[in-house]
Each structure stands twice: as C-alpha cells, then as structure tokens.
Structure 1
Amino acid sequence: MTLPEYLHHTFPTLLLRPPLFYSWDIGIRFELGVNYAYHNVYENCPYLQGVNRRAITLFKTLHAPNDDIYIVVDVNDFGDGGAFKRKLNAFSKYVKNKSLLYKLRQNTIPYVFPEDDENDVYRTHRFFLKCKTSDFAYVPMIKAICHQDMGLKPRIFHRVYFINTSKHTIFHIYDDRGCDLLATSPETIRGIYDSYPHWILDYDRAKIDQVFL
C-alpha cells in the first residue's frame, strides 16, 4: 500500500497539513516549549533542553523500534524552482542505512494551503520513505525540527510527519512550541495521554479530555 492509499484508507477525511489537531477527532496537542524568552535562546539552553526532552520522550514512547513508519517531508514550491535547487538533507543526514534512500518516493500535489495560492501556481512536493523506527537517527532529527525557528543549526525547515502504520498514528512537531498526535482509536494513545497529562496544551485540554472519557 502506498502512502496516499494508506492515508485515504486509514485517515480518510484528513488533509495532511497543519494544524493536524483541529482536522481529526482523535488526537492530543502537547506543549513542548515552556518559559520561552527570545533573548535567552542559545545552543543547549534550558529552554531547548526542555523542548527536546519532551519531543524525544513522546516520540520514543509512541514508536517502538520495530514499528513500520513513513517519514514524510513536505517541501514548498512557490514556482521559482527553489524546492529542487536545495538539497533535501532531511533524509540523508538521519537514515542509518543509506541504501534505504533508494526507496525514497516523491509526489507533487496541489499546494496544501490553497487559500494562500490565489493564482494556483504553488505546489507541494511530498517526499516519503517507508522504514522501521530503528532505521533512522530520530534524536538528532527531532532536535533539528525543533531548531527550525531558533536560528540554530542543524535545522529542518520543511514540515515533517511521522506516520506509524503499525499503530495507525501520525506525529507532527510543528515547531518548538508543540506537537500533534493523531490516532484512529483513543485506546492506541491512551497510555501516552495518561503518562504525560501535564504536557498537554491547556488551551485544548477540555477537548482532549473528552476523547478519553
């Protein structure tokens, strides 16, 4: 089953774009960054240590080493060819076995934010790689995702989704502020809901609690 087929079958009404939490009935929105101060952000600072700890802990709790997953990277193309001029390091830097990169696939789809594309010239290039959790170095990759707005390197600007086809979940760190976790069943993610209630974003807590009643 290809990625588009899997998404259509398993998450049939979901458009894979942020904010995911508000586009699906079963999910959790976690807060990653706490006590942010723009003048006090530097490599390995306490703020980023906290962000990384939460993001990595949630990922590791959700994804077993032998789970089948898709790593999905969306690259914006604004009609200037820039998407292909830049080397896509989001896979090559973090996949342990480089031969897996031969399985990397790409689909060009309509821009996932059509409301921002009045002339219909933008596109989204969706790259995806099917592998096991243990096939890639997720700790440095997650740190690079969390760095995207921090002015620190390494960083990944593109949107990255981790789609677990063994558990039927989608995990998306939208930036250092937080992440979304979707599932096809509340029971699949009840354990992570019970284990980290103090990390749930208070703004959406009431809606999230309703899912697990």
Structure 2
Amino acid sequence: MNIKDYLNERFSTLELVPSIYYQWDIGIHFSLAGEIYQFKKNDGLNLERFRLVYKQTSTLFNELFEQNDDLFLVTNVYKNKTKEKSTRKLKVYQPFLKCKCHLNGIQVKTYPYPFELDEAEEYEMQQFSLLCKRGDIRVNEILKAACNEDFPLKPKFGGYSIDYPDVFFVNIKKDIIFFVYDDRGCEVIAREAEQIRPLYEKYNDWVEEVDKKRIEQGLGG
C-alpha cells in the first residue's frame, strides 16, 4: 500500500497539504498554549509556552495513536526545481527513525508547489512517506520539531530550502490524520466522527469558540 492509494480510498477529496481541517467536514482545530506568548518582556523566548505546546501535542497524539497502530509518516518538502535536484529524505527522516533500516522503505512522489506564490512555477513539492508502526519513530522529537518551525530551538527538520517541511501522521487503522502546523495549533480529521468525538469533548478547552460550531456540525453534535 502507498499513501496515494490509501487517500484515494479513504479520504478521496483530500489533498495532504496544510489546512486539512478546512478540506474535510469531520475534524478538529486545536489552538495551543492558550494565552502564553512566545516571547518574554525582554524579547527572550518564553520556554514555558513551548513546554506546554510539546505536552499538548504529545497528549493528543497519544489519544489518537496506539503503540501497534500502522501509520504513514508523511513529509512534504518544498524545493526549487532547478537548483536542487536531489531528494533530502535522510535529513528529513534519519534523526527521527529508531532503526535506520526503515530509510529504505521511504517512498517519494513529486507534485506541483501547492501554495500561492508569484514564482510558484519555479518550485515543487516532494512528498515522502513511510509505512511503519508508531513504535518505529521518535514521536516526541518529531512533534517538537514541528512546533519549533519559526524559532531557534532544537530538534529541527532538515532538508528544506524555501519552506519548512510539513509532517502528517496518518493512522490507517483508525482513519485519522494528525497535523501540527507550528506552535500555534494542530489539526485532526477522521473518516468517522466517533473516532475523534471523545477527543473534542475531553480537550474542549483547547478549542477556540470561533471553531466550535463548525466542529460540532461535523461531529454530529
């Protein structure tokens, strides 16, 4: 099985790029860290915020993925078509795999650049995917790297030139997709509402009021 065939079968209208929540009726958008700002008054990073963000994303992931669940770890890398000819799967995946043997199982497909940009034709998206178990990957390190996108914190994703990579966790047992876009928030979508309704009820305080009506309509609330 590959990620394209899986999506065609289970999420046929979905494009696996940021804002999956807005592409799919059954989903939740979580806002992270509440009112804690990224910077202190002296302009230093507020590490209290990032510790909370790491904890929240880890908590949500643990609710959605069990140890033996099969999943696709999907990474979108954005690059210049002509200046970079080689793929960068090692820098994207190598630090986050418990066994380097899984590097041989990574698949890659090239797509048009998915975002609006005056020079969009100069760029492309390479989508890497690995079918694995949750236990095969360093989950907390990946979640932290996603949250650290805009800040000088480690860990960090490598292998990018024009935009920071986007990483998606696709649970093929439960038909759930989880995406942390940065320290501000994350998105969860599911094929069936009952898979994520308990998550919404349990962590309702992490959802902005402006999002609740749309979410509850999708979940049948």
Q: TM-score, structure 2 length as denominator?
A: 0.88
Letter of the structure 2 residue corresponding to residue 153 of structure 1: K
Name the counterpart of 2:215. 208
Name the counterpart of 1:48. 50
- Secondary structure of the 1:167 match is coil
- Per mean C-alpha deviation after superposition, the further-off stretch among 60-69 and 29-38 is 29-38
Q: TM-score, structure 1 length as denominator?
A: 0.91
Alpha-carbon displacement from aligned partner over 1:156-202 (angstroms, at most 9, x marks no partner): 23100001101111100010000000100101112211211111232
> Is 1:146 paired with 2:153?
no
> Is 1:5 paired with 2:8?
no
- Per mean C-alpha deviation after superposition, the further-off stretch among 52-61 and 154-163 is 154-163
2:176–2:188 Cα contact (<8 Å) kept: yes
2:71–2:132 Cα contact (<8 Å) kept: yes
Compute the displacement of 1:78 (Å): 2.4
Letter of the structure 2 residue corresponding to residue 28 of structure 1: I
Letter of the structure 2 residue corresponding to residue 163 of structure 1: V
Alpha-carbon displacement from aligned partner over 1:40-62 (angstroms, at most 9, x marks no partner): 2537x111111111100000110
Alpha-carbon displacement from aligned partner over 1:101-125 (angstroms, at most 9, x marks no partner): 1101111112222x32556232100
C-alpha distance in 1 between matches for 2:120 and 2:57: 37
C-alpha distance in 2 between matches for 1:202 and 1:31: 10
- Per mean C-alpha deviation after superposition, the further-off stretch among 175-184 and 142-151 is 142-151
Alpha-carbon displacement from aligned partner over 1:193-212 (angstroms, at most 9, x marks no partner): 12111112322111112223
Letter of the structure 2 residue corresponding to residue 139 of structure 1: N
Name the counterpart of 1:34. 34
Q: Give the one of 151, 161, 168 matched to 2:168.
A: 161
2:98–2:137 Cα contact (<8 Å) kept: yes
1:75–1:83 Cα contact (<8 Å) kept: no
Q: 1:82 to 1:152 in 2, by over 3 A?
A: farther
Name the counterpart of 1:199. 206
- Per mean C-alpha deviation after superposition, the further-off stretch among 27-36 and 74-83 is 74-83
Compute the displacement of 1:96 (Å): 0.7
C-alpha distance in 2 between matches for 1:119 and 1:16: 18
For these two proteins, the number of residue pairs brought into alignment is: 211
Q: 1:149 to 1:99 in 2, by over 3 A?
A: same
- Secondary structure of the 1:12 match is coil
C-alpha distance in 2 between matches for 1:90 and 1:79: 18
Sequence identity of aligned pairs in percent? 35
2:76–2:128 Cα contact (<8 Å) kept: yes
1:68–1:165 Cα contact (<8 Å) kept: yes
- Per mean C-alpha deviation after superposition, the further-off stretch among 81-90 and 29-38 is 81-90
Alpha-carbon displacement from aligned partner over 1:112-144 (angstroms, at most 9, x marks no partner): 22x325562321000111100111110111111
1:42–1:152 Cα contact (<8 Å) kept: no
- Aligned residues: CA RMSD: 1.9
- Per mean C-alpha deviation after superposition, the further-off stretch among 138-147 and 85-94 is 85-94
C-alpha distance in 1 between matches for 2:88 and 2:5: 28
Letter of the structure 2 residue corresponding to residue 197 of structure 1: N
Q: 1:6 to 1:124 in 2, by over 3 A?
A: same
- Secondary structure of the 1:39 match is coil
C-alpha distance in 2 between matches for 1:38 and 1:136: 28
C-alpha distance in 2 between matches for 1:87 and 1:77: 13
